Structure 1
């Protein structure tokens, strides 16, 4: 109802009701007062702005302080403060922007109420379009871009791919049929939890030397002899083959692991593979933080080759090795037993890759590049 009707209902003057609703600024005779609002428990989460922070934003905004200055005083991101003023501010006369903290707090609390109905659940046409795309084995991102192209003037048919994933994964919504998750490339019906990299415990007893301490000559690929290593795994992670790639020449060597990939097995097999190379081509080895390299200290002492470890969850730091592992899957498919392959077969596969022309080498082969490095 209007302010006048509400005032008549409770028996107060229209002006008094307006002051209760919007608050009263301070004057010569009257003290300022805050607007009346529902009594709600303050949010204990630091994720959301509190009422005190909104009061601070209002005071500093009135003093024409910059958004970055306000954010620094609150210890918040500048985008958080900018978004708060844009969402909960109001335009006044002459296009002047006003920010009323109590009204902003009320809007934020009303907007935070859950549960909310999903966009896909509330639009049958949108839901059918997304289901059709998933039946065609399109990715959620492809579906979302196709919808924007097909319905450019209908924002109710526009979604982001995260909305599609949530409609598939979040339990209790039922917006999309659960069997549609099988159309995703991962085939997973729920999200895969990701552990925070900075919360991992040290994996090895001997301290690791990280990739940030690797010599600069290894980064620019100018000097041969710096290797990247990893393992490709077989069925149920029960078998493995070690892979080594030289960063400059992209030369591949395969490590035979017929009895498993324990630290002792990897140390012995890696030592036997590396010692076939001349000393000037064994400058360093970069590996991920796999448990098979728990004996890295003993390996370095035996071969005089320093081992550097990548940061957790950063496969791009061994890009050449990751690319080679993908090429090897043509010979060693996923889900197969890798322990059945002999040393001779591994050498045959490595020779095929090393004699394959590579675009990144100017269509030379890794074997030709390595031969040049040996001659030099």
Structure 2
């Protein structure tokens, strides 16, 4: 008797189930199935979504709107906080010992404090390292907005620069071996790289001009 396609599939499924039952306990099967099946939900207190951000920020015509993210080193070796100003494309990359809300809040505050007079908004992602966003907003007297989950294009400039950063500091790098002087050198190199979107001008030059004019 010829076996139908449906019977063949059912037979293969039965063989797989029998193999799993023989080699794995029920608890192990359940644990393996659940692993990664649900993304860990991050609850950020008093989060303000990007839909409430002023529409003019999207045009990139105003000076003083920043995007913020973190770039991780090898597990447990720290992180780099990446900040980019949307109009000038100026890029700042302080290194922090760990990806904690406290360290990230301190780094963002230290880097943007000097530009406080021109600071209007900050847009970030939904990582737990930004749970202290209210402290950042209060310290810098600005508004912090969160992009939608899994919508990296809403911080596209930041994502683009993080890709450029990886040309200098590849994924998996032990950041303990990267000095602050090396970080500053990379930052300077990226800010002196002519950008097509700026008419092949340098972000550092455009940034200084906009600061002087504001």
TM range (shorter): 0.7 to 0.9
Which of 67, 75, 79 is the matching residue for 1:240? 79
Output the CA distance in 2 between the equivalents of 1:363 and 1:195: 44
Q: Compared with structure 1, are the counterparts of its residues 194 and 306 closer, same or farther at alpha carbon in structure 2 (3 Å cutoff)?
A: farther
Larger radius of gyration: 1
The correspondence of residues 149-188 of structure 1 with structure 2, limited to 5 A, is none
Q: Compared with structure 1, are the counterparts of its residues 365 and 295 closer, same or farther at alpha carbon in structure 2 (3 Å cutoff)?
A: same
Q: Compared with structure 1, are the counterparts of its residues 239 and 220 closer, same or farther at alpha carbon in structure 2 (3 Å cutoff)?
A: same
Q: Compared with structure 1, are the counterparts of its residues 214 and 114 closer, same or farther at alpha carbon in structure 2 (3 Å cutoff)?
A: farther
| 1:78-115 superposed Cα distances (whole Å, 9 cap, x missing partner) | xxxxxxxxxxxxxxxxxxxxxxxxxxxxxxxx99x576
1:272 aligned onto 2:110: yes
| 1:142-189 superposed Cα distances (whole Å, 9 cap, x missing partner) | xxxxxxxxxxxxxxxxxxxxxxxxxxxxx96xxxxxxxxxxxxxxxxx
Which of 13, 38, 43 is the matching residue for 1:203? 43
Which of 339, 346, 349 is the matching residue for 2:186? 349
The corresponding residue for 1:263 is 101
3-state secondary structure, aligned to 1:232: strand
Output the CA distance in 2 between the equivalents of 1:316 and 1:252: 17
TM-score by length of structure 1 reads 0.47
Q: Compared with structure 1, are the counterparts of its residues 321 and 116 closer, same or farther at alpha carbon in structure 2 (3 Å cutoff)?
A: same
The corresponding residue for 2:20 is none
Q: CA RMSD for the aligned pairs?
A: 2.4
Cα displacement (A) at 1:238: 3.6
The corresponding residue for 1:363 is 200
Assess if the C-alpha contact under 8 Å between 1:240 and 1:339 holds in 2. Answer: no
1:214 aligned onto 2:33: no
Cα displacement (A) at 1:313: 0.8
The corresponding residue for 1:227 is 66
Output the CA distance in 2 between the equivalents of 1:293 and 1:256: 15
Q: Give unmatched runs, 5+ long, in structure 2.
A: 17-34
Query: Which structure has the highest strand share of the two?
Result: 2
The corresponding residue for 1:373 is 210
3-state secondary structure, aligned to 2:168: coil
Which of 169, 180, 190 is the matching residue for 1:332? 169
3-state secondary structure, aligned to 2:81: strand
Cα displacement (A) at 1:236: 2.2
Assess if the C-alpha contact under 8 Å between 1:234 and 1:338 holds in 2. Answer: yes
Give structure 1 regions of 4+ aligned residues with deviation exceeding 2 angstroms.
113-117, 192-196, 339-345
Output the CA distance in 2 between the equivalents of 1:310 and 1:363: 29
1:323 aligned onto 2:160: yes
Cα displacement (A) at 1:116: 4.2
The corresponding residue for 1:313 is 150
Q: Give unmatched runs, 5+ long, in structure 1.
A: 1-109, 118-170, 173-191
Output the CA distance in 2 between the equivalents of 1:347 and 1:236: 22
Q: What number of residue pairs does the alignment pair up?
A: 188
Q: Compared with structure 1, are the counterparts of its residues 195 and 374 closer, same or farther at alpha carbon in structure 2 (3 Å cutoff)?
A: same
3-state secondary structure, aligned to 2:93: strand
TM-score by length of structure 2 reads 0.80
Output the CA distance in 1 between the equivalents of 2:207 and 2:113: 16
Higher relative contact order (CA 8 A, sep 6+): 2
Q: Compared with structure 1, are the counterparts of its residues 116 and 302 closer, same or farther at alpha carbon in structure 2 (3 Å cutoff)?
A: same
Q: Compared with structure 1, are the counterparts of its residues 114 and 267 closer, same or farther at alpha carbon in structure 2 (3 Å cutoff)?
A: farther
Cα displacement (A) at 1:342: 2.8
